[in-house]
Amino acid sequence: MNYRHGFHAGNFADLAKHAAILAMLRLLRDNDRPLLTVDTHAGAGYYDLSNPDFARSKEAEAGIKYLMGRDVPESLKPLGDYVRAKNAKAGFKGRIGIYPGSPTLILDNQRAGDQYVGCELRDDDYRLLHDRIEPRGQAIKADGYKVALQTTEGDEDLLYIIDPPFEKPDDYHRITDTVRDLLTLRSDARFLIWLPLKDLETFDAWLRHMEREMGDMAEIQVAELRLRPLWNPMKMNGCALVAVNAPEGFAPRLEAICQAVVTTFGEAGAEARIRIL
């Protein structure tokens, strides 16, 4: 596995994904039952943006640091305020030295009594994840798709964050199979899935497969963030966020987040497209 999230931490795609996770957690706060969040692809927990190996990608510079240097759009403020507060607590006054990944973000924003499980396969990132989140959350060094299927026994509300590196083409099929199998076990399970947007055919083929496999098991909200027209399929031209069984009120928040990210980071011809399958 070559992918290391440190190179990409705090880029536009992280901002969209993490703002959406935060919006989802806030909407789920009023539910009576505790929430179990399973992060199938957790990464290292948080990222030191001064690490010279990672900093040379300049993705955080063009992402979180760029965002925080100007008026933060309303829909990204909850994330911006959280990242600023997290940095101040870590001793970075007035600047962004660390970027919290999904494990840290979720643990800091869930309610007392909620639970978090994060799966990571890389040795180095798993060790960091473990040291950074245990005992507040549980770090597991195992295949996140397999672990997810073992988490439906309790009576908590279930939220699955699926954020693979897409190094291998089988991630597309594995996402669909996992979501379908989990919905068969727990029809009320909720999902937030991140995908890259390169060429449209790959994404559309996956959506068609999702529609076929899910039938009318769940509502699927699809948000495409196209940072530029999708002319060059070799480039990451944007990303997509797909929510399954999202709580009421999530769709307009997701739309506002995607519009803000596309407006802030997009090139000529950028657009956000939101639809319900």
Ligand X SMILES: C[S@@+](CC[C@H](N)C(=O)[O-])C[C@H]1O[C@@H](n2cnc3c(N)ncnc32)[C@H](O)[C@@H]1O
Q: Which of 11, 22, 25, 41 binds ligand X (CB under 6 A)?
A: 41
With tokens 């944007």, the residue in question is 238
Q: What are phi and psi of 196, to 5 degrees?
A: -80, 155
Binding mask 150-169 for ligand X (x = CB under 6 A): -------------xxx----
With CB under 6 A as the contact rule, the residue among 63, 101, 137, 266 that binds ligand X is: 101
Within 10 angstroms of residue 47's Cβ, the number of other Cβ atoms is 25
- 149 scored as a contact of ligand X (CB under 6 A): no
- Which positions from 5 to 24 touch ligand X by CB under 6 A, shown as an x/- string? x-----------x-------
Q: Does 86 bind ligand X (CB under 6 A)?
A: no
Partners of 161 in beta bridges: 39, 192
Rounded to a whole number of angstroms, the minimum distance from the CB of residue 57 to ligand X is 14
Length of the chain as a residue count: 277
Q: How many CA atoms lie within 13 A of 263 on its CB side?
A: 12
Taking CB under 6 A as the binding criterion, the range among 37-45, 82-90, 198-206, 227-235 that sits at the site for ligand X is 37-45
Residue 184: which residues within 8 A CB-CB, separation 6 or more? 217
Sort 141 into a burial class: Cβ within 10 Å, 0-12 / 13-18 / 19+: middle
73 forms part of the interface with ligand X (CB under 6 A) = no
Size of the site for ligand X (CB under 6 A): 21
Of 99 and 265, which CB lies nearer to ligand X in the complex structure? 99
102 binds ligand X (CB under 6 A): yes
Cα–Cα distance list, 208 to 61, 72, 187, 224, 244 (Å): 36, 35, 20, 15, 15
| Piece in contact with ligand X (CB under 6 A), picked from 24-32, 52-60, 138-146, 253-261 | 138-146
Which residues bind to ligand X, rule: CB under 6 A?
Answer: 1, 3, 5, 17, 39, 41-43, 101-102, 119-122, 125, 143-145, 163-165
